């Protein structure tokens, strides 16, 4: 696996695919700079070598048309502040303007290209467009894990034009390494904690990881599909009725593979889907009509904590309760505390997938786990066992 450490960038222009698809407020201020900060080590290494950096990214979904609100010019100042280097900007990502701006770029300088998705050819994976991009650098660096599952021109096709002059940036290399630690090289026991509302969205992950794990903790809304499938009463809790058979199959497969499945035994039930609802602790399979399970209960959390603390490798994907509401945050927070403790004791912990990443940030666990993935869809597809086109393009 070639990374930027395998190249000397002195006098070279690095064409770097970054993922600066960041949230902006009404005044175009960046409200979460995590993705920019994550790319900093890669960019700085290249500049310190004596190279220059040409950054390309998309922002939003402009559908192949320039849109003022999605121009990357809005984030130039934020990137400059985080990298502590002035960032130059050019109003296109291909063509004469872009090529002239790159030609004028000196060692130690940074150029940000305009939004790739202002050109429909980007998402189509157009080869001619990718060839135009390839003229803007001597070495191609992919550091955008969040888009590695898309076969777009800038993430996959452009790599064809660089043969042995392409590599991973530090961020993308770290993502691959972290997923490999869980899926291939992780010290046992390996525990996967899967939450969220739907079994259907996690089924391919479960099927792919059963051979690699020792414990499977199931929480969140998908709990109730499993409980109902086994004859439990779940009141008004969320449930995928058409997935009950599938839930039973998962439990059967897990048994056959020697994987211990840990389901909640009690829940915090509410008489309304609201932060102000009346709540009570009930057994997970005896939730009264008119009530719904919205968080894991105390006995469940104690069980889960015991499993987590004896684990050496931990994957966390999805919350175990409706953590967006203060009344139902305790379960997800408790999982975070248990993972923090296990990590302190030497376990490797990987958190990935939209909602669990949001929870980790909200409750301040970001620096207390081993790694927080920057790519939701890309991470999930990796866990499903798919080869991501953006990664394959560098390895070819």
Annotated binding site: 19-21, 35, 58-61, 117, 150, 202, 293, 324, 353-356
Pairing status of strand 166-168 against strand 215-218: unpaired
- Identify whether 124 is a catalytic site residue: no
Cβ atoms of 347 and 312 closer than 8 Å? yes
- Identify whether 165 is a catalytic site residue: no
Q: Which of 108, 233, 368, 377 is catalytic?
A: 377
Binding residues for substrate, as ranges, are 19-21, 35, 58-61, 117, 150
DSSP 134: H
Q: Exposure of 372 by Cβ count < 10 A (0-12 exposed, 13-18 middle, 19+ buried)?
A: buried
Helix (H, G, I), strand (E, B) or coil at 303: helix
CA neighbor of 373 nearest in space, from 349, 395, 396, 344: 349
Q: Which of 305, 354, 361, 368 is catalytic?
A: 354
- Identify whether 51 is a catalytic site residue: no
Give the pair of three-digit tokens for residue 105: 């770029």
Cβ atoms of 166 and 159 closer than 8 Å? yes
Peptide bond into 67 cis (omega under 30): no
- Identify whether 354 is a catalytic site residue: yes
Binding residues for ATP, as ranges, are 202, 293, 324, 353-356
Helix (H, G, I), strand (E, B) or coil at 18: coil
Q: Phi and psi for 189 in degrees, rounded to 5?
A: -70, 145
Q: Which of 12, 35, 228, 243 is catalytic?
A: 35
Helices (H), the chain: 34-49, 76-83, 95-103, 120-124, 127-134, 170-180, 203-209, 223-229, 244-256, 298-309, 330-344, 354-362, 376-383, 389-395
Distance CA 81, CA 94 (A): 26
Task: List residues bridging with 193 in a β-sheet.
Answer: 217, 316
DSSP 177: H
Distance CA 102, CA 281 (A): 63
Dihedral of CA 93/99/100/102: which sign? positive
Kindly list the distances between the CA atom of residue 99 and the CA atoms of 1, 14, 102, 138, in Å, as whole numbers in the listed order: 30, 14, 5, 13
Binding residues for (2R)-3-phosphoglycerate, as ranges, are 35, 117, 150
Q: Which of 40, 73, 124, 198 is catalytic?
A: 198
Distance CA 143, CA 73 (A): 20
Helix (H, G, I), strand (E, B) or coil at 171: helix
Helix (H, G, I), strand (E, B) or coil at 40: helix
Catalytic site residues? 35, 198, 354, 377
């Amino acid at each position: 696996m070639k990374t930027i450490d395998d190249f000397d960038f002195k006098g070279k222009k690095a064409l770097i695919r970054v993922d600066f698809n960041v949230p902006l407020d009404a005044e175009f201020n960046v409200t979460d700079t995590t993705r920019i900060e994550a790319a900093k080590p890669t960019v700085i290494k290249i500049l310190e070598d004596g190279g220059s950096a040409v950054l390309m990214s998309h922002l939003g979904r402009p559908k192949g048309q320039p849109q003022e609100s999605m121009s990357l010019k809005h984030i130039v100042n934020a990137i400059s502040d985080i990298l502590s280097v002035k960032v130059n900007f050019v109003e296109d990502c291909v063509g004469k303007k872009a090529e002239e701006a790159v030609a004028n770029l000196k060692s130690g300088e940074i150029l940000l290209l305009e939004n790739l998705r202002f050109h429909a050819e980007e998402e189509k994976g157009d080869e001619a467009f990718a060839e135009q991009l390839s003229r803007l650098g001597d070495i191609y660096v992919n550091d955008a894990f969040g888009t590695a599952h898309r076969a777009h021109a800038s993430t996959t096709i452009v790599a064809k034009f660089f043969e042995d002059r392409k590599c991973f940036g530090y961020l993308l290399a770290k993502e691959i390494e972290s997923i490999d630690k869980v899926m291939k090289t992780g010290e046992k026991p390996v525990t996967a904690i899967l939450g969220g509302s739907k079994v259907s969205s996690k089924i391919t992950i479960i099927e792919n990881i059963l051979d690699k794990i020792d414990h499977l903790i199931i929480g969140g809304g998908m709990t109730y599909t499993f409980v109902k499938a086994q004859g439990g009463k779940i009141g008004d809790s969320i449930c995928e009725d058409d997935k009950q058979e599938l839930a039973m199959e998962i439990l059967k497969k897990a048994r056959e593979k020697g994987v211990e499945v840990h389901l909640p035994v009690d829940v915090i039930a509410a008489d309304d889907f609201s932060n102000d609802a009346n709540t009570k602790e009930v057994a997970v399979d005896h939730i009264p009509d008119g009530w719904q399970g919205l968080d894991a209960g105390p006995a469940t959390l104690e069980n889960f904590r015991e499993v987590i603390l004896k684990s050496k490798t931990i994957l966390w994907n999805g919350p175990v309760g409706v953590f967006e509401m203060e009344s139902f945050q305790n379960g997800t927070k408790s999982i975070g505390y248990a993972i923090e403790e296990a990590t302190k004791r030497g376990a490797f912990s990987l958190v990935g997938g939209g909602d669990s990443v949001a929870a980790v940030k909200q409750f301040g666990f970001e620096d207390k786990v081993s790694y927080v993935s920057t790519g939701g869809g890309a991470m999930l597809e990796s866990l499903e066992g798919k080869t991501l086109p953006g990664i394959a393009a560098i390895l070819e």
